[in-house]
Amino acid sequence: MTPVYICCGAGGVGKTTSSAGLALAQARAGARVVVLTIDPARRLADALGVRVGNEPSPVLLPPELEAKGSLHALMLDPKETFDRVVSRFAPTPEARDRIYKNHIYQHASANLAGSQEYMAMERLYELAREDHWDCVVLDTPPTHHALDFLAAPDRMANLMDEGVMRWIVLPASRGGWRMLERGSEVLASVLERMVGNSTIADIAEFFTAFQALWDGFRERSIEVRTLLSAPSTKFLLVTTPAPAARAEARLFVEQLRTHRQPLAGFLVNRCLVAPPNPGAPSFGPDPGLAGWAESVAELTALPERQRARVEVQEANIAELVRGTTAPVWRIPDLGSAVHDLGGIIRISGYVGAVVPEWGTGLGGTS
Ligand SMILES: Nc1ncnc2c1ncn2[C@@H]1O[C@H](COP(=O)(O)OP(=O)(O)OP(=O)(O)O)[C@@H](O)[C@H]1O
Ligand SMILES: [Mg+2]
């Protein structure tokens, strides 16, 4: 299976930035890489040359980078992905069109809770099956909790399995609709969460039309789960050294353990000072920080208050990784938003060692 790197983490920690950096690092080292970004900032999207749409486009890398491989990037289009899923699983073109036209579908395909996560994985699965990539890097949606992403395929499968859905499509004569009309509070709130305010008739039509797709959905969610648990799929936890980020990061580590999914490493973003990372980078280090000597010099030159902050940072990182053997890569705070290729190139200098040789990936690291 194609190696897959998934950058997970809480909202705003730098998942999109580090995914792009990691993908570029691998392209520099010789891999044909595709990075699937989720809602990149407009300027970053422009810098990478990704437009709204679901197809990978080549990122033009400056020749002086001497990249040995290539980088493609795309931006997730959840609606278009959902349409494709429907088209794939619908038994007939008429059934497909009936779903496309249903306005609950139109709303749900953009707003269904968890659908962005699910569609990200659907698109990831499609990319991982194409044979012209040496590796796929996945950015993940800005969920409040990093865990939401991990739970998405199961949630989608459960949704398809949920007794309540089967029950909803039962004909009214069997009591289902009458009960619904009487207003089961629980059901109404479940539906409202899923599809917003809609009439019962709209919802009925939607679920009836969708019924034919359930088996396809369920099968696909099993395939996605298989891809996620393959040894060639690596989870990287993006976080920051802030103490506030630690509890959630630790929870994520625990959850990965529960899912028996090895954690491939921590990407600690926005560090005050980032010494060179473990493992020799396969290309020159970031020009801004040439090596340990420079880092140490930089550290000792820091005013005492700032040095104390670095100590706090390191104590936090030590606490973060306690009890795990996963490697840590520190990415410095670049001082301003990373919205151009130059910034991504700098970030790539810190994460090159995440994949020492793209062919072998992180091997048995756990
Ligand atoms: N190392 C860094 N130095 C300076 N700015 C950074 C760094 N990493 C990220 N940023 C900036 O922080 C902001 C958030 O980064 P990014 O969009 O990558 O986070 P995210 O985790 O993908 O967010 P979301 O959860 O909203 O998708 C962006 O403006 C980005 O340019
Ligand atoms: Mg993002």
* One pLDDT digit (tens) per residue for the chain, 366 residues: 899 999 988 888 999 999 999 999 999 989 999 999 988 888 888 888 887 777 899 999 999 998 999 999 999 988 888 899 889 988 899 989 988 888 777 777 766 656 777 788 889 999 999 988 999 999 988 765 656 666 666 665 565 555 444 444 444 444 444 444 444 455 555 665 555 555 666 677 777 777 777 778 778 878 888 888 888 898 999 999 988 888 888 888 888 888 778 888 899 999 987 655 544 333 333 333 345 555 666 666 667 777 788 888 888 998 998 888 888 888 999 999 999 999 999 999 888 766 655 443 433 333
Instruction: Output b/e per residue, 185-207; b: 16+ Cβ within 10 A.
Output: eeeeebbeebbeebeeebbbbbb
| Residue 140, strand partner residues | none
Provide the pLDDT for residue 158.
62
Distance 92 CA to ligand 1 centre (A): 43
Q: Are 153 and 228 in contact (CB under 8 A)?
A: yes
From 354, 310, 311, select the one nearest 332 (Cα to Cα).
310
Distance 355 CA to ligand 2 centre (A): 22
> In the chain, which ranges are E strands?
4-8, 32-37, 57-58, 70-75, 135-139, 233-239, 263-271, 328-332
From 23, 36, 1, 16, select the one nearest 358 (Cα to Cα).
23
Helical spans, DSSP H, in 130-242: 146-161, 163-168, 176-182, 185-195, 200-211, 214-229
What phi and psi, each to the nearest 5 degrees, are found at residue 331? Answer: -120, 125
Provide the pLDDT for residue 217.
77
Provide the pLDDT for residue 285.
36
Q: Is residue 181 part of a domain?
A: yes
Tokens of 180: 């619904």
The CA distance from 223 to 259, in Å, is 16
Provide the pLDDT for residue 238.
94
What phi and psi, each to the nearest 5 degrees, are found at residue 150? Answer: -60, -35
Provide the pLDDT for residue 71.
96
Domain ranges, residue 178: 77-126+146-233
Q: Are 236 and 266 in contact (CB under 8 A)?
A: yes
Provide the pLDDT for residue 15.
93
Q: Is residue 218 part of a domain?
A: yes
Q: Is residue 94 part of a domain?
A: yes
Provide the pLDDT for residue 329.
87
Provide the pLDDT for residue 196.
57
Q: Is residue 86 part of a domain?
A: yes
Q: Is 237 in the pocket of ligand 1 (CB under 6 A)?
A: no
Q: Is residue 16 part of a domain?
A: no
* Tally of domains within the chain: 1
Provide the pLDDT for residue 344.
94
Ligand 1 mutation target, pool 7, 8, 16, 116, most atoms within 8 A of CB = 16
Is the sign of the CA dihedral 121, 125, 128, 132 positive or negative? Answer: negative
From 73, 82, 160, 156, select the one nearest 119 (Cα to Cα).
82
- Which residues, chain by chain, have CB under 5 Å from ion ligand 2? 15-16
Q: Are 9 and 239 in contact (CB under 8 A)?
A: yes
CB under 8 Å to 217, separation ≥6 — which residues? 85, 89, 156, 157, 160
Q: Are 327 and 365 in contact (CB under 8 A)?
A: yes
Q: Is residue 250 part of a domain?
A: no
Q: Is 116 in the pocket of ligand 1 (CB under 6 A)?
A: no
The CA distance from 126 to 291, in Å, is 40
Q: Is residue 211 part of a domain?
A: yes
Q: In what order do the strands lie in the sheet with 32-37?
A: 57-58, 70-75, 32-37, 135-139, 4-8, 233-239, 263-271, 328-332
Could you count the other beta carbons within 10 Å of the beta carbon of residue 307?
A: 15
Nearest ligand by distance to the CA of 18: 1
Q: Is residue 366 part of a domain?
A: no
Q: Is 337 in the pocket of ligand 1 (CB under 6 A)?
A: yes
